[in-house]
Amino acid sequence: MKATITALNHLIQLIQTLRGTDGCPWDRQQTSRSISVYLIEEVYELVDAIESDDPDRICEELGDVLFHIFFIARLYEEMGQFDIARTAKMNTEKMIRRHPHVFGGDKVENTEQIRERWHEIKKKEKVMATNESILDSIPLQLPALMRAYRVSERVARTGFDWSDIESVMDKVQEEWAEFRQALEKGDRGQTADEFGDVLFTLTNVARFARIHPETALSGSITKFVRRFKQMEGAAKAQGRTVDELPQAALDKIWDGIKEKED
Q: Over the stretch 116-143, which tens digit does the pLDDT of each residue have? A: 888 788 777 765 444 578 898 888 888 8
> Could you report the per-residue pLDDT of 4-24, keeping only the tens digit for each?
999 999 999 999 999 999 999
Domain contains 175: yes
Residue 227 shares a structural domain with residue 207: no
> How far from chain centre, in Å, is Cα 66?
17
By residue range, what is the domain housing residue 201?
Answer: 128-211
Q: Is the pLDDT of residue 197 over 70?
A: yes
CATH assignment of the domain containing 65: 1.10.287.1080
Residue 206 shares a structural domain with residue 226: no
Domain contains 52: yes
Domain contains 164: yes
Domain contains 88: no
Residue 186 shares a structural domain with residue 230: no
Residue 174 shares a structural domain with residue 197: yes
Domain contains 100: no
Residue 138 shares a structural domain with residue 191: yes
Domain contains 244: yes
What pLDDT, on a 0 to 100 scale, did the predictor assign at position 116? 83
Q: Which secondary structure element, helix H or strand E, spans residue 27, and what is its range? A: helix 25-29
Final residue of a domain: which of 50, 82, 114?
A: 82
Residues 236 and 252: their CA atoms lie apart, in Å, by: 15
Number of domains in the chain: 3
pTM: 0.70
Residue 195 shares a structural domain with residue 232: no
Residue 177 shares a structural domain with residue 231: no
Domain contains 186: yes
Cβ–Cβ under 8 Å, residues 51 and 222: yes
Domain contains 117: no
What pLDDT, on a 0 to 100 scale, did the predictor assign at position 1? 84
Residue 223 shares a structural domain with residue 179: no
DSSP labels, 130-198: TT--TTTTS-TTS-HHHHHHHHHHHHHTTT-S-SSHHHHHHHHHHHHHHHHHHHHHT-HHHHHHHHHHH
> Could you report the per-residue pLDDT of 24-70, keeping only the tens digit for each?
999 999 999 999 989 999 998 998 899 888 999 999 999 999 999 99
Residues 67 and 85: their CA atoms lie apart, in Å, by: 15
Final residue of a domain: which of 53, 82, 111?
A: 82
